[in-house]
A and B are shown apart, each in its own frame.
Chain A
Amino acid sequence: MISLQTIAKPSPIHFRPKKPFKRPPKTLTPIHSLLQYNRKPQLSGETPRVVVITSGKGGVGKTTTTANIGLSLARLGFSAVAIDADVGLRNLDLLLGLENRVNYTVVEVLNGDCRLDQALVRDKRWSNFELLCISKPRSKLPLGFGGKALIWLVEALKNREEGAPDFILIDCPAGIDAGFITAITPANEAVLVTTPDITSLRDADRVTGLLECDGIRDIKMIVNRVRTDMIKGEDMMSVLDVQEMLGLPLLGVIPEDTEVIRSTNRGYPLVLNKPPALAGLAFEQAAWRLVEQDSMKAVMMEEEPKKRGFFSFFGG
């Protein structure tokens, strides 16, 4: 969750000395914020960056990750379009609280019932975030040009008048079926979401293999639903164990948090919570690293008892 790396200096504050000949100009020491909240992340890579968020197994948090990272990117000042490519079981609109505003989908765009800009649902909270659903729950996606359709979509978004979005996040369906193949078609990089259990790990390894076969080399993983107390009791694999098994760089580690369920049910992504939840902070940091194409250099391992102060006896 924390990236221990060289810290870019924030704009230093210079005090003008009273006697310049005697004293050199005094500089304040930069604030050592390891989370690098003291500056806007630098966007690296060619835009639009098309990122597919995938995992082999279902229920590991792909859609939650897409919603939270998408809105984090919007908060960081980047424009993002989230495409819900889960054709049969779309849920991203629910997580974002936009379910009542989805009137048109990609299927309607392909059929000529509407234009692409009419199918894009702009979030009112952060207007540089847009949602695009592939199809309505009961309609069927014509797979004759399923993958190609997404490539056309990316091209159309690139050439639109408002300017190309910085990020196109594709929420991939579970499994390695036709939906998966369609979703990964236009992607240049992938975020693999996994949980620290063996079923999820096996599927993640397989999916990583398929992505690599397809030519997607930039794959980073997010380990979701981590419980440090269980890791301490050796009931759960640690994040480092997961990394050892998959051999993928870490984009983020998301701790298990009850706030996730609450935010899902409210249709209000976790990263917008104030005060921030633990998982929300972790998602924000993952988004930060995604922007800079960075990976974690240190991970949170286990909970230590907090050191009590001298006056803690008195409630201090």
Chain B
Amino acid sequence: MASIWTLHVGATSFLPVRSLSDGHQSRSEFGLDSKFSNCSNWNRRAAYRTLVVKALDSDGGDRPLQNDVVVVRKLEEDNVKKPQQNIVAKLPETIGSLPVFVYSTGKLSGTNLAIGLCIVATMLVIVVRGYATRKSSENRAGSVADLVRRGQVRSDRRGISTPLKYEDPFNNPMVKVSKSNSTVEMCGKVYRLAPVVLTDELQTVHQKRRSRAYQWKRPTIFLKEGESVPPDVDPDTVRWIPANHPFATTSSDIDEDLAQNNVRQKHGVPFRIKAEHEALQKKLEALQNDQKLSKLVIDPGAARDFERPMKSNNLKSETQVDQSTSNPAISDQVSKPPPEETINP
């Protein structure tokens, strides 16, 4: 029976009677209105109370056992455990006892499911879209970003400027002019504006002053210092260029007409390249013709030009050897080193 009693006690500890009271406390702690909780749960609390009373009355014959030592101790132990169990039980019970949740769990389960599905679908769409954009940005081969990634374009020299948008009126945010046009704010600094007072008369006055001060004729001919002035040239229009001028020279290897044609040339091979190519072609042809005509004739002079210097030295040494063999006395003198005594008397 004691076990049954303990069971009952344990059951009562988890029964909503206690929990309701605790819940009421916790709600008041959370700042909820006590009136609200009292009114809404009044019927349920009464029902639970009658249930507990009935349960206790059912084992009324065992009441004397309540005074047993074991039972009392068990009760004390249970009383010690109760607050701990209450802490765990407090939150779900509190939530479950809230009228909103009671209502929603009963009637809105279908709506909740739909909302949940919507949230999951949205999340899925966001993730898929992000993944797709990342994929597409990675796949854009040849773009500037791709070139930078591959190290072919320096990132700090990329085109960071955007084209100006015309026919799209906008005020430059960096520049603000005051309503009275007396000040202007540029890049966060305010400047005073002053009107320009230069008139056309003043400009002509300055022009006249300069025309009096500076008499100048543009030089039309450049001559190196020391050269004689051509007879039909005004000496004032001659510009004398020193022979050691760092970047200007009066001499050029092409004539004026040719240079002009070179500038005007729009298509085809440039003149100099073409000329060099043609010259090489002619030389090659000439060489080939010479070889055909005089295949068997060897020009010793030309052959000597193509000889390598080492070879000529060897030839010389060979001739010397030949000569030395023909005249052994001289060769001995040449080949043998002179005695030390003769060198250092």
Chain A residues packing against B (C-beta within 8 Å): 1-2, 4, 10-11, 30-35, 37-40, 75-77, 87-88, 97, 109-118, 124-125, 135, 139-149, 152-153, 155-156, 159-161, 178-179, 181, 184-185, 205-206, 208-210, 212-214, 228, 240, 243-244, 246-250, 266-268, 271-278, 281, 295-307
- The reply on B218 being an interface residue by CB < 8 A is yes
Q: Contacting chain A: which of B13-21, B107-115, B254-262, B314-322?
A: B254-262
Instruction: Point out the residues of chain B lying under 8 angstroms from A299, CB to CB.
Output: 193-194, 196
- Residue among B187, B222, B247, B264 having the largest count of chain A Cβ atoms under 10 Å: B247
Instruction: Point out the residues of chain B lying under 8 angstroms from A10, CB to CB.
Output: 167, 169
CA distance A107 to B221 in the complex (A): 19
CA distance A97 to B263 in the complex (A): 26
- The reply on B228 being an interface residue by CB < 8 A is no
Choose from A11, A184, A306 the contact partner of B189 (Cβ within 8 Å): A306
- Beta-carbon contact of A141 and B192 below 8 Å: no
Q: Contacting chain A: which of B77-85, B174-182, B303-311?
A: B174-182
Choose from A117, A274, A301 the contact partner of B161 (Cβ within 8 Å): A274
- Beta-carbon contact of A212 and B271 below 8 Å: no
Choose from B203, B216, B267 the contact partner of A249 (Cβ within 8 Å): B203
Residue of A nearest to B221 (CB): A144
- Beta-carbon contact of B167 and A116 below 8 Å: no
- Beta-carbon contact of A300 and B192 below 8 Å: yes
Instruction: Point out the residues of chain B lying under 8 angstroms from A160, CB to CB.
Output: 266
Q: How far is the CB of A254 from chain B (nearest CB, A)?
A: 12
Choose from B172, B246, B264 the contact partner of A37 (Cβ within 8 Å): B172
- Beta-carbon contact of A112 and B247 below 8 Å: no
Instruction: Point out the residues of chain B lying under 8 angstroms from A178, CB to CB.
Output: 222, 239, 241, 245, 248
- Beta-carbon contact of B190 and A243 below 8 Å: no
CA distance A35 to B186 in the complex (A): 12
CA distance A297 to B197 in the complex (A): 8
> Which residues between 185 and 235 of chain B lie within 8 Å of chain A, taking CB atoms?
185-198, 202-203, 205-207, 210-211, 213-219, 222
CA distance A192 to B44 in the complex (A): 97
Q: How far is the CB of B86 from chain A (nearest CB, A)?
A: 50
| Contacts A/B (CB < 8 Å), 13 sampled | A2-B193, A34-B184, A111-B262, A112-B258, A112-B272, A142-B250, A149-B263, A213-B214, A240-B194, A247-B198, A250-B198, A272-B160, A300-B191
- The reply on B99 being an interface residue by CB < 8 A is no
Choose from A209, A266, A300 the contact partner of B216 (Cβ within 8 Å): A209
Choose from B191, B196, B260, B272 the contact partner of A113 (Cβ within 8 Å): B272
- Beta-carbon contact of B186 and A161 below 8 Å: no
Given A4-B193, A143-B250, A275-B174, is A37 in contact with B186 using a C-beta cutoff of 8 Å? no
Instruction: Point out the residues of chain A lying under 8 angstroms from B171, CB to CB.
Output: 31, 33, 37-38
Q: How far is the CB of A181 from chain B (nearest CB, A)?
A: 6
- The reply on B64 being an interface residue by CB < 8 A is no
Residue of B nearest to A136 (CB): B247
Residue of B nearest to A207 (CB): B214
Instruction: Point out the residues of chain B lying under 8 angstroms from A117, CB to CB.
Output: 266
Residue of A nearest to B160 (CB): A274
CA distance A242 to B165 in the complex (A): 35
Known pairs A34-B177, A298-B195, A300-B186 / 17 extra A-B pairs, C-beta < 8 Å: A11-B169, A35-B175, A38-B171, A76-B164, A110-B252, A110-B259, A116-B263, A143-B250, A152-B264, A209-B211, A247-B202, A271-B161, A278-B187, A281-B175, A298-B194, A301-B192, A303-B190
CA distance A246 to B256 in the complex (A): 39
CA distance A232 to B142 in the complex (A): 53
Chain B residues packing against A (C-beta within 8 Å): 156-157, 159-164, 166-172, 174-175, 177, 181, 183-198, 202-203, 205-207, 210-211, 213-219, 222, 239, 241, 245-254, 256, 258-260, 262-268, 270-275
Given A143-B248, A160-B266, A266-B156, is A213 in contact with B211 using a C-beta cutoff of 8 Å? yes
Q: How far is the CB of A309 from chain B (nearest CB, A)?
A: 13
Instruction: Point out the residues of chain B lying under 8 angstroms from A76, CB to CB.
Output: 164
Choose from B167, B193, B211, B239 the contact partner of A39 (Cβ within 8 Å): B167
Instruction: Point out the residues of chain A lying under 8 angstroms from B214, CB to CB.
Output: 206, 209-210, 212-213
Given A143-B241, A156-B264, A213-B216, is A115 in contact with B193 using a C-beta cutoff of 8 Å? no
CA distance A243 to B171 in the complex (A): 29
CA distance A113 to B259 in the complex (A): 11
CA distance A201 to B54 in the complex (A): 114
Instruction: Point out the residues of chain B lying under 8 angstroms from A184, CB to CB.
Output: 218
Instruction: Point out the residues of chain B lying under 8 angstroms from A125, CB to CB.
Output: 159, 161
- Residue among A142, A160, A268, A275 having the largest count of chain B Cβ atoms under 10 Å: A142
Given A39-B166, A140-B249, is A302 in contact with B191 using a C-beta cutoff of 8 Å? yes
Q: How far is the CB of B265 from chain A (nearest CB, A)?
A: 5
CA distance A223 to B245 in the complex (A): 32
Instruction: Point out the residues of chain A lying under 8 angstroms from B195, CB to CB.
Output: 4, 297-298
- Beta-carbon contact of A248 and B206 below 8 Å: yes
Choose from A113, A152, A266, A297 the contact partner of B263 (Cβ within 8 Å): A152
Instruction: Point out the residues of chain B lying under 8 angstroms from A161, CB to CB.
Output: 266
CA distance A130 to B294 in the complex (A): 56
Instruction: Point out the residues of chain B lying under 8 angstroms from A141, CB to CB.
Output: 247-249
CA distance A278 to B239 in the complex (A): 42
Residue of B nearest to A185 (CB): B218
Q: How far is the CB of B291 from chain A (nearest CB, A)?
A: 32
CA distance A266 to B268 in the complex (A): 37
- Residue among A247, A271, A295, A300 having the largest count of chain B Cβ atoms under 10 Å: A247
Instruction: Point out the residues of chain B lying under 8 angstroms from A298, CB to CB.
Output: 181, 193-196
CA distance A76 to B181 in the complex (A): 26
Given A2-B193, A143-B241, A209-B211, is A249 in contact with B266 using a C-beta cutoff of 8 Å? no
CA distance A32 to B300 in the complex (A): 91
CA distance A206 to B215 in the complex (A): 10
- Beta-carbon contact of A112 and B273 below 8 Å: yes
Q: How far is the CB of A265 from chain B (nearest CB, A)?
A: 11
Residue of B nearest to A153 (CB): B263
Q: How far is the CB of B189 from chain A (nearest CB, A)?
A: 6
